[in-house]
Amino acid sequence: ARARNGVRELSALYSKAGFYDAKVNYSIVELGKDEITGDELVKVVYTLENEGKKVFINRILINGNEMTKSEAILKAINLRVDDVLRSTDIFTSEQNLYATDAFDLVEIKAEEAGERADGSRLSDLIINVDEKPPRLITYGGGYATDFGANGFFDIRHFNLLGKLLQGGARVRASSFQQLVQIDFINPRFLNDGTTEDGVIRYAPLTFAAQYQRDSTVTRFFRSTFDRGTFGIVQRVDENGNPIDLFGANTSDPTINRLTFSAETSRTISRKKRSILFARYKFEDVRLFNVESLLIKDLLLPDSRIRTSGFGANFVLDTREDCSITYTILDIIRRGDPGEPCRYNPGNPTRGSYLTAQYDISLPTLGANIGFQKLQASYNTYYTISQLKNTTFAGRGVIGLGKVFSEGQRFSPTQFPDLEGVLPISERFFAGGSTTLRGFEFEAAGPRVVIVPQGIFRNSKGEPVFLTPFSVPFGGNALAIVNLEARVPLSKSIRAVPFYDGGNVFQRVSDIFNPPEVPEGDVFRQNLRAVWSHTVGLGLRLKTPIGGEFGIDYGFLLNPPRFLIPQPDGTNAIYQLRKNQIHFRFAQAF
């Protein structure tokens, strides 16, 4: 196997240098035993057959392209006139053309075309293609108990304008949700550098437009409200029809979203998997018919939000798994021990992962609110072999947001101190199995108390009385620290003691300097958040299908306490649970 590896390496060396016809073989000559050690000795002899001359590309000829323009094919391949001819470039070019989904058959052949003045050879390349129908149409439908009858229709074109551009449209419709989307993709928008083997890479450009209407708003609220509402999220009459505060009939609430976006990317480093994404996004989100909802007053200020601006994402990923083991048969077959570490984002034992996202919404571009927002996360992993290969993992998350235009959307009388808050779709939330494991899902941070008004009924249509309850409100700032040790107990089980710290904060300044609030100011008291501390223990069980099943028990050392005004004028104290159990496939981070 090691001898065959040598053949591959020598063949690759000659191919890269342009010796297209060169062939390498090997033979093993037995030399007998070593006089001192007694070991069997052999000699490996590599034979270079038909080294020939360097081969350069003279012309590139294309046959069979009736719809596709030759310029598009030439851009998609990794072959250029006057470059040296390499077999790896031919293989890569065939794969690139197949990847466009525009061809059933791609075949690239080389034919001799004389010699250059320096004596090196010239070859013409003949590219034979068989085009497939450029359009693909799929459609279907079904029935689900949650959404009733539903159907879809998709159409996609893989060779727009004969330039190997892609575009498509899709329609999804059910009783409660409707979606219409169109998109356009230029797979080869910008040159994105070359690989170590000289393969040309391109960054794509994507345009997308989407309209979505969703009338399952009440289902979402029912799953996130406090237990005290008994699953009741809106006012209804005896027949279950939505009504407003005064008992008048109204329609079911819906959320309508219109989005336009354009995005491209640039690879900074392939070795470190470092990529920069840049985009423009316009989004118009509107809430309709919210009069029947318990939290109507919190939703109305954000019922007409229009954002328009630019954003950028930076990713750097060096996560690797260095716990790979090879059997004797693997080593014999490969001829070497193999790579000690492999890229593994799901279960890394060393390396780091950095992400940073910045967004800005500008009224000059059509937004009705101006804000900027930054969120960054850094993960690091380190394994100590002396501690039974225990992996120590850490993560830090920071989120900062600021509204600089049209920030006064809430009534200062009804909701004091909420000026400058981000729209609900942009606010930071935390809590749950992947952030702060001492909280329920997105239950950390500031809260607002809702005092139910009007008539409410249960699922049987019977009038019920609802006491005031609290709703997680989110905030303009986020800070989280996660630390854990992944300790192997056996080949398939690991114990994971952990610490989670942090919270969601109303303002950026609250992270390091929580505001002083008078004891009698109930509203501002409930907005005040301090650093939370959670300790816990988890188990990770390897599954037969790959990955791990995780269960975590988190104990919140300083559970937040909120003031709930009562009908008699007093304030009840509501304290969040100290204990949480979370289930999950894969790691927390």
- Kindly list the domain boundaries of the chain, sorted by start residue: 2-49, 55-131, 194-585
What are the pLDDT digits (tens) for 210-254?
999 998 876 656 555 545 566 678 888 888 888 888 888 998 899
Residues 6+ apart with CB under 8 A from 79: 57, 60, 85, 89, 90, 93, 108, 125
State the sign of the Cα–Cα–Cα–Cα dihedral 27, 29, 34, 40: positive
- Residue at token pair 């073989």: 25
What are the pLDDT digits (tens) for 117-144?
888 889 999 999 999 999 999 999 998 8
Architecture of domain 194-585: Beta Barrel (2.40)
pLDDT at 42: 83
Comparing C-alpha atoms, which of 437, 448, 449 is closest to residue 532?
Answer: 437
Summarize the confidence of residues 404-424 as an average pLDDT: 86
Cβ neighbours, 10 Å, residue 368: 16
Comparing C-alpha atoms, which of 58, 55, 62, 67 is closest to residue 77?
Answer: 62
pLDDT at 324: 76
**% of the chain surpassing 70 pLDDT:** 95
Asked whether residue 336 carries a pLDDT value surpassing 70, the answer given is: no
More confident site: 482 or 519: 482
SS3 label, residue 372: strand
Summarize the confidence of residues 366-393 as an average pLDDT: 95
Architecture of domain 55-131: Roll (3.10)
pLDDT at 226: 47
Distance CA 583, CA 544 (A): 18
Distance CA 456, CA 289 (A): 17
Asked whether residue 317 carries a pLDDT value surpassing 70, the answer given is: yes
For 144, counting Cβ atoms within 10 Å of its Cβ (0-12 exposed, 13-18 middle, 19+ buried), the class is exposed
For the record, the structure tokens of 300 come out as: 């109305």
What are the pLDDT digits (tens) for 260-292?
999 999 999 988 999 999 999 999 999 999 888
- Residue 328 pLDDT level (bands cut at 50, 70, 90): low
Asked whether residue 445 carries a pLDDT value surpassing 70, the answer given is: yes
Question: E strands within 324-369?
Answer: 342-343, 351-361
What are the pLDDT digits (tens) for 155-211?
999 999 999 999 999 999 998 899 999 999 999 998 888 877 777 889 999 999 999
pLDDT at 309: 97
Summarize the confidence of residues 298-325 as an average pLDDT: 92
pLDDT at 38: 78
Asked whether residue 91 carries a pLDDT value surpassing 50, the answer given is: yes
Count of CA atoms in the C-beta half-sphere (13 A) of 182: 0
Residue 422 falls in which region: left (phi positive, over 0), alpha (psi -120 to 50) or beta: beta
- Residue 329 pLDDT level (bands cut at 50, 70, 90): low
Comparing C-alpha atoms, which of 285, 255, 291 is closest to residue 176?
Answer: 255
For 223, counting Cβ atoms within 10 Å of its Cβ (0-12 exposed, 13-18 middle, 19+ buried), the class is exposed
- Residue 475 pLDDT level (bands cut at 50, 70, 90): very high
Comparing C-alpha atoms, which of 367, 359, 374 is closest to residue 406?
Answer: 367
Asked whether residue 423 carries a pLDDT value surpassing 80, the answer given is: yes
- Residue 490 pLDDT level (bands cut at 50, 70, 90): very high
Distance CA 247, CA 378 (A): 51
More confident site: 154 or 217: 154
Task: Cite the DSSP H helix spans in 150-295.
Answer: 217-224
Summarize the confidence of residues 60-87 as an average pLDDT: 92
For the record, the structure tokens of 384 come out as: 């100590």
pLDDT at 157: 96
Average pLDDT taken over every residue of the chain:
89
Residue 230 falls in which region: left (phi positive, over 0), alpha (psi -120 to 50) or beta: left
Task: Cite the DSSP H helix spans in 198-334.
Answer: 217-224, 296-299, 328-334
Residue 38 falls in which region: left (phi positive, over 0), alpha (psi -120 to 50) or beta: left
Count of CA atoms in the C-beta half-sphere (13 A) of 135: 6
H or E stretch covering 487: strand 477-488
Question: Checking DSSP bridges between strand 55-63 and strand 121-131, what pairing results, if any?
Answer: parallel
Residues 6+ apart with CB under 8 A from 324: 338, 339, 340, 341, 342
Spatial contact of 200 and 191, defined as CB atoms under 8 Å apart: yes
Distance from chain centroid for Cα 453: 41
Cβ neighbours, 10 Å, residue 552: 23
H or E stretch covering 39: none
Distance CA 5, CA 1 (A): 6
pTM tops 0.75: yes
**% of the chain surpassing 90 pLDDT:** 56
pLDDT at 335: 61
* Neighbouring-strand partners of residue 101: none
pLDDT at 235: 85
More confident site: 249 or 8: 249
Distance CA 11, CA 25 (A): 9
